[in-house]
Homo-oligomer: A and B are copies of this chain.
Amino acid sequence: MRHYRIPDETVKRLPVYLRGAVLLLKDGKKSLSSGELAGFIGASPAQIRKDFSYFGAFGTRGVGYDTPKLIKQISKILKLNKRHKAVLVGIGNLGTAIMVYTGFSIYGFSIEAAFDNDAKKIGKKINGITIEDIAKLRTIRAKKIQIAILAVTSGQAQRVAESLVNNGIKGILNFSPCRLEVPKNIKVISIDIALDMARLPYYMPKT
């Protein structure tokens, strides 16, 4: 617990550990060793312990980790210990799928607002949320929403991202296959599905 820089790679793994711990707790495991967790998620025990060590020592030697306590610790590190409101922009094919997806809630995310610019979509209600006109985006500030999921057409992504930032958004999950230019205190995480898929043939055997 006297390290300075925390590797990005470590931060990427923490959510994996968190989900593993949550699932194992649900399975009745009140206590957990680095070896058990490693086996469950497919990692090495040393890696797990090293990653944790950047943030302090929260296990018990000879025993392992208290599962609920571990979950709390990782959640706290990732700032997932309180719920996060998110806004979804672009309620097209992908946006609609995301809107009804329940998998975000285990990390404490909830979609609290949805926007589009298509008149045919505005006013429609999906999963309890009414789709609003993008022109009214500024209302997200009053709702204290700081996270956005961006699923608009690629060509619109940059300008919408800028609007989002201007309205108080601090983090963006971007699905468009393009680079977003944002102030450097804003975090963008991009998921580019086709890009990932493009690697598949490289690894596939000849025949």
Contacts and interface: CB of A to CB of B under 8 A. Distances in A.
A79 B100 CA distance: 36
Interface string A128-141: 00000000000000
A185 B97 CA distance: 32
A109 B196 CA distance: 12
Contact of A204 (B93, B149, B171, B203): B171
Interface stretch (A15-23, A27-35, A46-54, A117-125): A15-23
B202 A77 contact: yes
Interface in A85-106: 92-94, 96-98, 100-101, 103-104, 106
Interface stretch (A61-69, A157-165, A187-195): A187-195
A130 B170 CA distance: 42
A179 interface: yes
A11 B199 contact: yes
B93 A101 contact: yes
Nearest to A177: B103
A80 B198 contact: yes
A5 interface: no
Copies of this protein chain in the complex: 2
Contact of A96 (B97, B107, B146, B205): B97
A15 B97 contact: no
A86 to B, nearest CB: 8
Interface of A: 11-12, 14-16, 18-19, 41-42, 77-80, 84, 92-94, 96-98, 100-101, 103-104, 106-107, 109, 146-147, 149, 170-173, 177, 179, 185, 187, 189, 191, 193-205
10 tightest A-B CB contacts, nearest first: A93-B97, A187-B203, A15-B198, A79-B201, A171-B200, A170-B204, A107-B198, A103-B194, A94-B97, A97-B97
